[in-house]
Structure 1
Amino acid sequence: MIDVPSPWRKFYDPEVPTPFEPEAVAIHELLARSAREHPQRKAIVFQNWSTTYAEFDRLTGVMAANLRRLGLTAGTRVAVLLPNLPQTLITYFAILKAGGVVVMMNPLYMENELHDQISDSSAEFLVTLDLLWSKVAGFRRRVHLKKIIVASIADALGFPLRQLYKLKAWKQGMGKDVPYDDGAIIPWKEIVKGQDVYSQVVDDPRNHLAMLQYTGGTTGVPKGVMLSHANLTANVQQCLAMLPKLKKSQHTLLAVLPFFHIFGLTVCMNFAVGLGATIIPFPRLVVADLLKAIQKYKPTIFPAVPAIFVAMVQHKNLGQFKLSSIDYCISGSAPLPVEVMQKFQKLTGAEIIEGYGLTEASPVTHLNPLDGKHKPGSIGIPLPGTEAGIVDMEGGAVPVPMGKLGELVVRGHQVMQGYWNRADETASTIRNTWLYTGDIAYMDEDGFCFIVDRKKDLIITGGYNVYPRDVDEVLYEHPKVKEAVAVGIPHPTRGEIVKAFIVPKDGEVIEQSEIIEFCSQKLAKYKVPRRVEFRTELPKTLVGKVLRRALRQEEEEKVKERRNRRMGD
């Protein structure tokens, strides 16, 4: 049994309740409550279309009733293949009201990846977009989908944009290949028609499966994380408890983080609905359009990831836009370089709340206090109702002293039920109620945690441990560097050496020797990159997390190719 101290509790803001026990409720109850409390408040605004919380609640009930008529029963898995649109929000809550299990899917995935997730989850229904039909057509005959519901962007537009979009779609042939005459394929607009509504009562939210959220695959093959209704609603309540000031005002939240990713799903959907905020879905990230949207809609809450903050502070026309409406930025998914945080705060005046989470924890486990002590570079302190500790990286059973590196472990009501059909991996990840995150971290004397790196990203060179983030931070300090990441690559005598992959700022030219010399002045010799490669972009997940694993695999493949050539000679 792991016994860990909890010094962080004295650093909660005064209004944070301690101890904290979240209420076990269904996710769609969050929507029902906001509809009762703020019926005429705008719930969703998209282009020239909007809906109130009362109508949002009604539409999801109508869709739930229609899904039940189509054969959806309790526990039916429903795959959702949509970008950030009003239809995504409505579909998500409708499936849950109908008693189904949501399986969010990445629209950028290839056919084989979509096929694998639908097969693994045994999804029987699919909700998608007509613009994505070519992907669906490629795998639909190889899976057991009973019904496919197809939306159009025009379904979430008001007059006259709806007519103009339909005309554009007709001229360009968009969506014309969807075979609606097939009885298994139903237009979205039909599924939200009617007067009957349905909302299943969830008697046991703690054990009632709400969704299968597939991991991002940054550390291997994606796995279906089983999250219950209570897992997800507990995380919303924990975030609201940690940020009590937010409940005192009416907010508008710009949802640029993809809904299909757990960070975007919890913060931009569940949390936003629990807060009664107006949600602005943003389906495609173009920084110039993002800056225009902030100026137009004046969001007060802006959740984002480091890659978005980096792109914004480096945008050449940033000074032309007024961004002062933003009161709170929530950063997560990857470490935010301290220099980038400081630049963004100076440019916008917004407060950035850095936190931490992982899919297996719904996902948020840590946040920096809103008004109290805030430590740049730290992921903050555990949310109310969450415990955390740092244990030895070998056995994982012994807590390490404050300030020493180890593996971060957490537990709380937001921790998953397990991995779908993967009992062995569940057992290795959750031990004695503790979730082993796989992240290397340390906790200071105040209980603030600092993530150093993933265990699997650790570079061992000549017997020395190098944590890539240490190198990343230095690389970002170079005035000509736009993006950078350090990776361990194979070496015949040292095991691994550090290689830096760098994207220069626009118009800048950098020499390898310049980077090595710069790092030599700021890092121990064994941490200095031995090789540097310049690129126009870095491989990332859709939420902006750099795929170190992909870069490392590229290097490993090069080594194999060289070895094979030598053997061939």
Structure 2
Amino acid sequence: MLNLAVILRESATVRPDAPALMSDRGIVTYAELDARSDAVAAGLAGRGAGPGTAIALQLPNIPEFPIAYYGILKTGATVVPLNVLLRAPEVAYQLADSGARALITWSGSVAEAAKGAAEAGLGDLYLVGADDHAARPFDELTTPVTGQFPLCDREPGDTAAIVYTSGTTGVPKGAELTHFQLYMNADIPGRLFEVRPDDVVLTALPLFHVFGMSSAMNVALRFGAAMSLVPRFSAERVLAAIERDHATVFDGVPTMFIALLAAAGTSDHDTSSLRVCVSGGDAIPAHVLDAFERQFGVPILEGYGMTETAATITFNSSAQDRRVYSVGRPVWGVEVQVWDADGRRLPPGRAHIGELVTRGYHTMHGYRGHAAATADAFRGGWFHTGDLGYQDTDGFLYIVDRQKDLIIRGGYNVYPREVEEVLYRHPDVAEAAVVGIPDERLGQEVKAFVVPRPGCFPTARQIIAYTRERLAAYKCPRLVEFRDTLPLTAAGKVVKKALV
């Protein structure tokens, strides 16, 4: 038997008075977090929650997220994290698709959440924050407990969470992540990363996203570390929280590191407490990694994972045992191979780029209600990631691009990330994204979207000339569009389909 909530219960038993959560609202100790999640569990159980039921959770990075998350798990119910930016039709779809019986939301999302819940026929809506007639207060969901709420016994293969994919290749699908999968994805990476009880993990990644949920929250609580919660990312908020809480670990996506690097020159916040950073969610540009490490004096360890693998497939486990610019090697118990289009394993080397496939304890149970999509994802007995890359002779993996982002221009393969790496080295470029657009003659043409640095005004001709000095002609963008910002997901990844 295994209930993922055991990671909180055990840390609260060993370190009851240690800080578990830090925020601008103060400190919540492990004993307090355990007790408050017990009260939520009791309240939910009294309303019929338990094995076979699902409870949706739509909150930013505030203390109520882990309080409710582990409370739901303690009852044996399944957590369904929802993005706080979803519109009503999206809320309705994910509530109906997951079969959720209740939704816990917050004041910033309640208008859309209430409409979505009504559309899905869901009446149990609870609100964290200001009162609203559309929902009942979250406090109503809590029931005082004498002693401890008993953890509901679950089988290791039972679903603990249903986390929805971004839907970039179709409708979002709910990846069913199991208690065992999520436990192992906290325990193994945490050991590799050498997370310590005295660590403070700066958590700006949204907890409703698998990276924040699994690699920040579950890892921190598994090892008794503290979480410094930042409800919404901004470079200033993160730098201030690092100083306030003496954060030692920062997990982020490349756009966060870019923003922090840009802000560092004008900031006087003390960030000397940081000992290490982790980058995931997308490949970090090489020059950004190098510049950040010089500026902040800490290493960035890259990893690789996805929703369906509960965040971790590969990882650079330490600054001493890493291959810079790679996403590391498969973590313990995980296999990764590189296959060609015919399902044949490719040998190591940059010349042998193919799709990364993986298998092990880390893969999901399946997509809820999507048997055909699940079978397709696991064809050949391996999970197909949809990412293109290669492996070196020492087993380190390098991500080249997403299959769906590959540009085929006049019969030649163009990997957008390679072009973006060059654009990021241009002194006037702050951010860049490269996409393929339809072209009658060549099939696709290469287009670059560029956000200039403040006070810089490059021209399209200059950008194109810069790439032509550094890339083969067929890879260079013929079109350049300047933007003030790039569209980002809530987790900070560029939404390329919004640019095409």
TM range (shorter): over 0.9
Shift of 1:332: 0.1
Amino acid at match of 2:174: G
Q: Distance in 2 between matches of 1:219 and 1:424?
A: 15
Q: Distance in 2 between matches of 1:440 and 1:246?
A: 30
2:165 aligns with one of 191, 200, 215: 215
Match of 1:395 in 2: 342
Shift of 1:137: 2.7
Does the 8 Å CA contact 1:235/1:362 hold for their aligned counterparts?
Answer: yes
Q: Distance in 1 between matches of 2:154 and 2:381?
A: 23
Does the 8 Å CA contact 1:130/1:178 hold for their aligned counterparts?
Answer: no
1:57 aligns with one of 34, 43, 49: 34
Deviations 1:26-78 (A, max 9, x none): 21011111111111111112224222112211211121011111121312111
RMSD: 1.5
Deviations 1:144-202 (A, max 9, x none): 324222111xxxxxxxxxxxxxxxxxxxxxx45425xxxxx532223334124433332
Match of 2:450 in 1: 502
Structure 1 window deviating more from structure 2 (372-381 vs 350-359): it is 372-381
Does the 8 Å CA contact 1:407/1:439 hold for their aligned counterparts?
Answer: yes
Shift of 1:131: 3.4
Q: Distance in 2 between matches of 1:101 and 1:177?
A: 26
- When residues 304 and 444 of structure 1 are mapped into structure 2, their CA distance, relative to the original with a 3 A threshold, is same
Shift of 1:138: 1.9
- When residues 421 and 330 of structure 1 are mapped into structure 2, their CA distance, relative to the original with a 3 A threshold, is same
Does the 8 Å CA contact 2:51/2:75 hold for their aligned counterparts?
Answer: yes
Shift of 1:222: 1.0
Match of 1:246 in 2: 195
Q: Distance in 2 between matches of 1:275 and 1:326?
A: 18
Superposition pairs for residues 235-314 of structure 1, below 5 Å? 235-243=185-193, 245-247=194-196, 250-314=198-262
Q: Distance in 2 between matches of 1:270 and 1:31?
A: 9
Does the 8 Å CA contact 1:133/1:178 hold for their aligned counterparts?
Answer: no
Match of 2:86 in 1: 109
Can you give the 5+ residue segments of structure 1 that lack an aligned partner in the other structure?
1-23, 153-174, 180-184, 553-569
Match of 1:76 in 2: 53
Q: Distance in 2 between matches of 1:203 and 1:485?
A: 44
Q: Distance in 2 between matches of 1:50 and 1:176?
A: 24
Shift of 1:349: 0.8
Q: What is the DSSP-based 3-state SS (H/G/I as helix, E as strand, rest coil) of the residue aligned with 1:542? A: coil
1:379 aligns with one of 315, 318, 327: 327
Amino acid at match of 2:195: L
Q: Distance in 2 between matches of 1:422 and 1:199?
A: 33
1:518 aligns with 2:466: yes
Deviations 1:100-142 (A, max 9, x none): 1111001111111111111111211110113322112323322
1:229 aligns with 2:179: yes
Amino acid at match of 2:347: P
1:204 aligns with 2:155: yes
Match of 2:356 in 1: 408
Match of 1:353 in 2: 301
Superposition pairs for residues 116-195 of structure 1, below 5 Å? 116-152=93-129, 175-179=130-134, 185-195=135-145
Q: Distance in 2 between matches of 1:526 and 1:146?
A: 56
Q: What is the DSSP-based 3-state SS (H/G/I as helix, E as strand, rest coil) of the residue aligned with 1:27? A: coil
Larger radius of gyration: 1
Q: Distance in 1 between matches of 2:48 and 2:152?
A: 18
Amino acid at match of 2:497: R
State the TM-score, normalized to the length of structure 1. 0.85
Does the 8 Å CA contact 2:61/2:206 hold for their aligned counterparts?
Answer: yes
Superposition pairs for residues 454-469 of structure 1, below 5 Å? 454-469=402-417
Match of 2:286 in 1: 338
Amino acid at match of 1:51: V
| Percent identity for Structure 1 against Structure 2 | 38
2:66 aligns with one of 89, 101, 104: 89
Q: Distance in 2 between matches of 1:178 and 1:268?
A: 34
Count how many residue pairs are aligned between Structure 1 and Structure 2.
Answer: 497
Does the 8 Å CA contact 1:312/1:318 hold for their aligned counterparts?
Answer: no
Q: What is the DSSP-based 3-state SS (H/G/I as helix, E as strand, rest coil) of the residue aligned with 2:251? A: strand
Does the 8 Å CA contact 1:75/1:209 hold for their aligned counterparts?
Answer: no
Amino acid at match of 1:106: N
Amino acid at match of 1:479: P
Does the 8 Å CA contact 1:345/1:351 hold for their aligned counterparts?
Answer: yes
Q: What is the DSSP-based 3-state SS (H/G/I as helix, E as strand, rest coil) of the residue aligned with 1:364? A: coil
Structure 1 window deviating more from structure 2 (140-149 vs 293-302): it is 140-149
Q: Distance in 2 between matches of 1:60 and 1:406?
A: 45
Structure 1 window deviating more from structure 2 (295-304 vs 191-200): it is 191-200
Match of 2:429 in 1: 481
Q: Which has the higher contact order (CA 8 A, sep 6+)?
A: 1
Q: Distance in 2 between matches of 1:545 and 1:142?
A: 29
State the TM-score, normalized to the length of structure 2. 0.96
Deviations 1:420-461 (A, max 9, x none): 100001001012431110000000111100000011111001
- When residues 203 and 116 of structure 1 are mapped into structure 2, their CA distance, relative to the original with a 3 A threshold, is closer
Amino acid at match of 1:402: P
Q: What is the DSSP-based 3-state SS (H/G/I as helix, E as strand, rest coil) of the residue aligned with 2:332? A: coil
1:427 aligns with 2:382: no
Does the 8 Å CA contact 2:87/2:113 hold for their aligned counterparts?
Answer: no
Deviations 1:238-261 (A, max 9, x none): 202322x333x5111111000010
Q: Distance in 1 between matches of 2:479 and 2:95?
A: 41
Does the 8 Å CA contact 1:202/1:208 hold for their aligned counterparts?
Answer: no
Q: Distance in 1 between matches of 2:246 and 2:91?
A: 36
Q: Distance in 2 between matches of 1:151 and 1:236?
A: 27
Shift of 1:218: 3.0
Structure 1 window deviating more from structure 2 (428-437 vs 129-138): it is 129-138
Q: Distance in 1 between matches of 2:439 and 2:319?
A: 48
Does the 8 Å CA contact 2:90/2:116 hold for their aligned counterparts?
Answer: no
